[in-house]
Amino acid sequence: MSDQVVASLRKPSHSSRQINVVLRRVDEVEAETKATPKRWSEEAGTPEPFAEIARELDAMIGMERVKETIFEIYAMLQISKYRQEAGLACSPQMYHMIFRGNPGTGKTTVARLIARLFRNMGLLSKGHFIEAERADLVGEYIGHTAIKTRELIKRALGGVLFIDEAYSLTRGGEKDFGKEAIDTLVKAQEDYKDQFILILAGYPDEMDVFMAMNPGLPSRFPIQIDFPDYTLDQLMQIAEQMLKEREYVFLPQTFMRFKQYLQEVKLRFARNFSNARFVRNTIERCVRRQAVRLLKQQNRPLTKQELMQICPEDLKIDSGSDGPIYL
């Protein structure tokens, strides 16, 4: 935590007990971050192609199995280079992937990192990232879908094509044009070997059904990664990390209220809970409400800590018939 932030929090306008609680919690978060295993960087000796990506992985909260898989991909690429240099046989590898996870669990973020990793390692010429959904592939009449899908694939050559909610391509039944998109994608995997990486993503259950409906698909996606939901403590760490980046801080009462809020919403909405995305959106709403509150009560110059503090009233609550509703 910066000396300026500490100094601003220690101004007389705030009680020492509240300040100490806030500072202690921020210090705990920083200590947790520093204590995160640095396997992704230190154990690899931070080689240049992987160094920057390793640092970004270190900064991510949770996702340990996901991080391990990314490191495995890097290790496989690096050892293949060493084998080539030693004149040993290197069997071709397929790197198309399936990502299973609920919204806000980091699928898109990790896909972008993978695009950069493959570019850094020389596997992809551009390493650019194209995100698509059903509407970007499926046309309105016979033959239109194949054209749209091929155009999208050509744009993705040299990079990563990421298709979210991929199972939506099969929701229209046998006569739906989505099947044509899938067939075109499968053909492109053969026609453009090693020229692009295809990542299909979506909810875990739907992705399992999608793969089961297309017996030829599993073998074309040898890398399958599960993105678990964040725990309540991890969500609070993510919230505090986001606040720190924006130079805001929860008051102790806000911290407890926010944690209770997350726990309730996580349980109530379960499968539809959007994890880190929900945390980010809620914090952004709090910041907006803090701005309105400060402007309405401004009758003097605002102190630095007032500009930083998120108060309990910034997390608005209405009482509903089923319990508190947080807006």
Query: Tens of pLDDT along 71-114?
Result: 999 999 999 999 999 999 888 889 999 999 999 999 999 999 99
Percent of the chain at pLDDT > 90 equals 64
Highest mean pLDDT among 37-46, 152-161, 209-218: 152-161
For residue 113 the two structure tokens come to: 């990192």
pTM of the shown model = 0.80
Lowest-confidence segment of 12-26, 52-66, 81-95, 113-127 by average pLDDT: 12-26
CA distance 151 to 160: 14
Query: Which long-range CB contacts under 8 A does 87-94 form with residues at least 24 apart?
Result: 92/193, 92/194, 93/222, 94/189, 94/220, 94/221, 94/222
Q: What is the pLDDT of residues 131-175, one digit of tens each?
A: 999 999 998 878 899 999 999 999 999 999 999 999 999 876 666
Q: What is the pLDDT confidence band of residue 193, given thresholds at 50, 70 and 90?
A: confident
CA distance 187 to 180: 11
CA distance 39 to 129: 26
Cβ neighbours of residue 151 under 8 Å, at least 6 residues apart? none
Q: In this predicted model, which residue has the larger pLDDT, 177 or 282?
A: 282
Q: Closest Cα to residue 162, out of 137, 135, 133?
A: 133
CA distance 273 to 265: 7
CA distance 95 to 248: 41
Q: Closest Cα to residue 160, out of 118, 186, 134, 196?
A: 196
Residue 5 has pLDDT above 50, yes or no: no
Residues 226/204, Cβ–Cβ less than 8 Å: yes
Mean pLDDT to the nearest integer, 241-256: 96
User: What's the confidence (pLDDT) of residue 70?
Assistant: 94
Strand segments, DSSP code E, in 167-212 are 197-202
Vertex 313: Cα angle to 307 and 318 (nearest 5): 150
Residues 299/3, Cβ–Cβ less than 8 Å: no
Neighbours of 76 (CB within 10 A): 13
Query: Residue 321 has what DSSP assignment?
Result: T
Residue 16 has pLDDT above 80, yes or no: no
- What the chain holds in terms of domains, given with CATH numbers, is 3-13+230-326 (1.10.8.60), 63-227 (3.40.50.300)
In single-letter form, the type of residue at position 175 comes to K
Lowest-confidence segment of 47-51, 123-127, 181-185, 247-251 by average pLDDT: 47-51
User: What's the confidence (pLDDT) of residue 319?
Assistant: 43
Lowest-confidence segment of 12-16, 46-50, 68-72, 167-171 by average pLDDT: 12-16
